[in-house]
Structure 1
């Protein structure tokens, strides 16, 4: 056998020996982990019912628990039930002097447990929680890490449905503040204190998507509560949500404007088209009422007036006003039918009186000079002569000073006083008045609620 052959044989045996030593080392390392766990958590050595001592083993100081969380998603914000759902990774960290162990020269960084009942746990609960559950697919999403210095890190993934009292006065131009509150259930501040972890206690997943809201910002704070059994430590996170207005603009505001404008078409129809105008007014009124009831069905029955109530109420009033306008037009047209006949009778009576007066004057002239062959016209007419009175009226009219033209009277003069002219004037005035008043309402509405939205909503 050559020298090279012996070299490869020796190298092969050396590799086998090193692999076996490495495996033994791993086995020994895992055995050391087991021994450490048995050493610190063995029977009769650790009692999970006993609260850890304070800083540096001080018994009369409370246990400090540092909290942080990672918001994974916010699934819904319900206006009717006034609640929201969130999924988060919740973490707590505290120090337990009884769990210190040897890190084997830095090789053992931490020990991992999946059973939370093996060590003492803070009695934290979510005070505004309605529903909640843990995640157990495929395995329970929870772990506990024990570090060599006795520090304990507890992490769990949970889903919660939390109460969120809302103020809907500016709905849908509003902002809502929803809180996440955590407090101790049984330990008072003399025994247990919750603190936010320094640095970045609350983290939010990137590209958080909400269907009708935008998460603008959040703020961490403390909310300790005092009862007749003592003072309890409490933490809270305030989430500021801004409602997306584009959805409501397309679904509510623009359709309501269109219904109001459609109701104005009645002003341009002929006043004799009774079926068309009545059906148009009733249809728009019923559609607007249905729209209003649908909006209110998605909101809680609160005792105050919301911004959307003002909008729908005014739009409903405009549609109802258009229907009443036709009723007024129809009444005016029917009441004006008898006036032309009365006017004609009066004119005929005046004409007969004038003819009778002329005949009487002519007979008087013939009686005064019966021998004359012809009668001459008097140079000066009698003051009671109808022709003289007509001349005097014309002179008075020409002697009056000229008046300044009035724009409104000039515009209304296009509709002279005759049959149905009064109803026509009502339609023409409504064509201008209704759009102007509605535009003024829009100006006041948007300026009021948009400025209130900026001033009153403070974080």
Structure 2
């Protein structure tokens, strides 16, 4: 599949005039002939990839209306068979996944391929359509992105689309689209999670009896290798099929699955390292004098409150879910360690006071017995 925006183009190097030198008069006729042949070949290769503007007769046919060309009717390729539309996608850009709203952004070149025998022509080159009004007079698939919250066509500096019509009626419709795609995230392992998000593509008006959509056979989903996200990295992209059964009928449906994994570095520095240090600091109370009650209590309470603040900050970055997350387990374990320090201090302080009490009682009993012995 040739993606016009990313295809390799033949280029003719800029030619500069060079003043003639005495050696130039010694060039043989054969060398001059070879130079002309090479120049002609380069210009022919340059023109081989060009396109013709839409012919007048095709423009008139499209403008004639339903009497000549019905844009509401899908092109018939075989008797009693649906129109087949093949899809391809090039991921130009992909933004960070937003955990709070459970969505992500895509910038894609979306390509659709089908055949309309009514638009076959005798031109030597493919016909290029860049006029939106001409496209609107042609039949083209009505595919949509079922789980996209927002979808926008790019129009700067001109509408970003093209249509190529080959001589046999084969058509390529390529357009650039920005999407905000809904993805229900499973946050049980957050922030150590990986996610699989699907972009669902269906036809809106034509069921499977009229239209079938499928991915192209080779490399249906490709991407810009320079894509980088702040908190995720792409593991792989998978084309697939989906269930298009609705109450109104069965609709052809394909999916593009994005397998991504969360980058852990940010969360290590923002959550795991600080909470680990807080727990270690709380253990300093083990080396304080057991009778230094204000110091040990203040240290334990301060570390516990700091941990609570860290846990609240982590929860604020996440949506409210009904299950426990990995970060909740970590924060809970840290709080248990700090709370254990307070329990240890309470037990040790109580045991120390009880020991002193028993010691005083023993001393008192010993002194009383000593006095009784003197009196006796």
Normalized against structure 2, the TM-score is what?
Answer: 0.81
What residue in structure 1 maps to residue 15 of structure 2? none
Q: Does structure 1 residue 89 correspond to structure 2 residue 106?
A: no
CA contact (8 A) 2:53 2:128 kept: no
Aligned counterparts of 2:187 and 2:149: Cα–Cα separation in 1: 21
Q: Does structure 1 residue 113 correspond to structure 2 residue 130?
A: yes
CA contact (8 A) 2:203 2:252 kept: yes
1:47 corresponds, among 65, 70, 95, to 70
Aligned counterparts of 1:33 and 1:190: Cα–Cα separation in 2: 31
CA shift for structure 1 position 299 = 0.9
Aligned residues: 322
1:77 corresponds, among 83, 90, 97, to 97
Residue 31 to residue 331, structure 1, CA distance change in 2 (3 Å): closer
Secondary structure of 2:107's counterpart equals strand
CA contact (8 A) 1:263 1:322 kept: yes
CA contact (8 A) 1:109 1:147 kept: yes
CA shift for structure 1 position 312 = 0.4
Structure with greater contact order relative to length (CA < 8 Å, sep ≥ 6): 2
Q: Can you list the C-alpha shifts for 1:85-129, whole angstroms capped at 9, x where unaligned?
A: 1110101010011101112xx3x3323233130200111111111
Q: Can you list the C-alpha shifts for 1:213-237, whole angstroms capped at 9, x where unaligned?
A: 1110121111141223211000101
1:170-209 alignment runs, 5 A limit: 170-209=189-228
Runs of 5+ in structure 1 lacking a partner? Answer: 1-29, 358-459
CA shift for structure 1 position 242 = 0.9
Aligned counterparts of 1:341 and 1:188: Cα–Cα separation in 2: 93
CA shift for structure 1 position 338 = 3.2
Aligned counterparts of 2:56 and 2:87: Cα–Cα separation in 1: 30
Residue 257 to residue 151, structure 1, CA distance change in 2 (3 Å): same
Secondary structure of 1:321's counterpart equals helix
Secondary structure of 1:221's counterpart equals strand
What residue in structure 2 maps to residue 244 of structure 1? 263
Q: Can you list the C-alpha shifts for 1:230-258, whole angstroms capped at 9, x where unaligned?
A: 11000101111111122211211111111
Aligned counterparts of 1:345 and 1:35: Cα–Cα separation in 2: 120
Q: Can you list the C-alpha shifts for 1:175-195, whole angstroms capped at 9, x where unaligned?
A: 100111100111110100001
Aligned counterparts of 2:269 and 2:281: Cα–Cα separation in 1: 17
CA shift for structure 1 position 352 = 4.9
Aligned counterparts of 2:92 and 2:85: Cα–Cα separation in 1: 22
1:115-130 alignment runs, 5 A limit: 115=132, 116-130=135-149
CA contact (8 A) 2:87 2:112 kept: yes
CA shift for structure 1 position 330 = 3.1
CA shift for structure 1 position 160 = 0.5
What residue in structure 2 maps to residue 161 of structure 1? 180
What residue in structure 2 maps to residue 447 of structure 1? none
Q: Does structure 1 residue 306 correspond to structure 2 residue 325?
A: yes
CA shift for structure 1 position 325 = 2.6
1:23-422 alignment runs, 5 A limit: 33-44=54-65, 45-55=68-78, 58=79, 60-103=80-123, 106=124, 108-115=125-132, 116-352=135-371
CA shift for structure 1 position 165 = 0.9
Aligned counterparts of 1:339 and 1:65: Cα–Cα separation in 2: 91
Residue 119 to residue 31, structure 1, CA distance change in 2 (3 Å): closer
Aligned counterparts of 2:98 and 2:258: Cα–Cα separation in 1: 15
Runs of 5+ in structure 2 lacking a partner? Answer: 1-50
Normalized against structure 1, the TM-score is what?
Answer: 0.67
Q: Determine which structure has the larger helix proportion and give its number.
A: 1
CA shift for structure 1 position 332 = 3.2
Secondary structure of 1:76's counterpart equals coil
CA contact (8 A) 2:154 2:160 kept: yes
What residue in structure 1 maps to residue 20 of structure 2? none
CA contact (8 A) 1:112 1:145 kept: yes
What residue in structure 1 maps to residue 41 of structure 2? none
What residue in structure 1 maps to residue 35 of structure 2? none
Pairwise CA RMSD: 2.0
Aligned counterparts of 1:123 and 1:212: Cα–Cα separation in 2: 34
Structure of higher CA gyration radius: 1
CA shift for structure 1 position 333 = 3.4
